[in-house]
Chains A and B, each alone.
Chain A
Amino acid sequence: EAGVVQSPRYKIIEKKQPVAFWCNPISGHNTLYWYLQNLGQGPELLIRYENEEAVDDSQLPKDRFSAERLKGVDSTLKIQPAELGDSAVYLCASSLGTSGRVDEQFFGPGTRLTVL
């Protein structure tokens, strides 16, 4: 079974440029997560989707970050414009979305973003 797919794996851009990350979750997984991970830190949740609905986006900097999950499958995370401090690894994860318990999250390899 294929795991969570993310692309690109690496991205280098100049500040003020836009950038987009793509995630394809495991087939049948209703819940999708986007995390940001800085060097030496644990992942920090940016947004969580239940199917097409963003149910937790309280940590998403909405002035420059946006996300969508059309048709409840693939998802895209966008930053516009990027700032130097956005340099980090962006992780996507998915889970079955079983209510009433804690789902096992399956993570993709991440996209390493470098903003120059």
Chain B
Amino acid sequence: LAKTTQPISMDSYEGQEVNITCSHNNIATNDYITWYQQFPSQGPRFIIQGYKTKVTNEVASLFIPADRKSSTLSLPRVSLSDTAVYYCLVGLTGANNLFFGTGTRLTVIP
């Protein structure tokens, strides 16, 4: 079971870049790394997914080193609306290892 370790919480000022690191030391060869965002009273929402190196989309970047034992979600120039819980998820949909963990609570300060 590829469990993950993330910081419990982080604070950042508006306009700054935020990097949230996730450790997944026992990631399996076929596992993907997926990040979700969750606002209060809502279900989680997919942000980004990757397997290795770097992935970028319109909202975030995901950096994965060669050993894949960790990954970093990068949010450029955060705003107050980015205040949420961010979950790092490692695994395959078809396998019995979907584990969200406790996530990282990001608070963006004006």
Selected contact of A108 from candidates B43, B93, B98, B101, CB within 8 Å:
B43
**Which of B18-26, B44-52, B62-70, B71-79 participates in binding chain A?**
B44-52
Residue from the list A44, A93, A109 in contact with B41, Cβ < 8 A: A109
CA distance A12 to B91 in the complex (A): 35
Note all chain B residues with C-beta closer than 8 A to A110: 41-43
A42 touches B100 (CB 8 A): yes
Question: How many chain B residues have a CB neighbour from A under 8 Å?
Answer: 23
- Would A31 and B93 be within 8 Å (CB), given that A4-B43, A104-B49, A107-B44 are in contact? yes
Contact of A40 among B41, B42, B99, B102 (CB under 8 A): B102
Asked whether any CB of chain B lies closer than 8 Å to the CB of A2, the reply is no
Contact A102 B43 (CB under 8 A): no
Q: Indicate whether A95 sits within 8 Å of B100 (C-beta atoms), given known contacts A102-B32, A104-B46.
A: no
Shortest Cβ distance from residue B33 to the other chain A in the assembled complex, whole angstroms: 9
Q: Which residues of A contact B34 (CB under 8 A)?
A: 102, 104
Pairwise interchain contact A41-B102, C-beta atoms closer than 8 A: yes
* A99-B94, A101-B93, A102-B91 given; A107·B45 CB < 8 A: yes
A19 within 8 A of B: no
- For A97, the chain B residues whose CB sits under 8 A away are 93
Q: A56, B43: Cβ atoms under 8 Å?
A: no
A103 with B96: in contact, given A42-B87, A42-B103, A110-B43 (CB under 8 Å)?
A: no
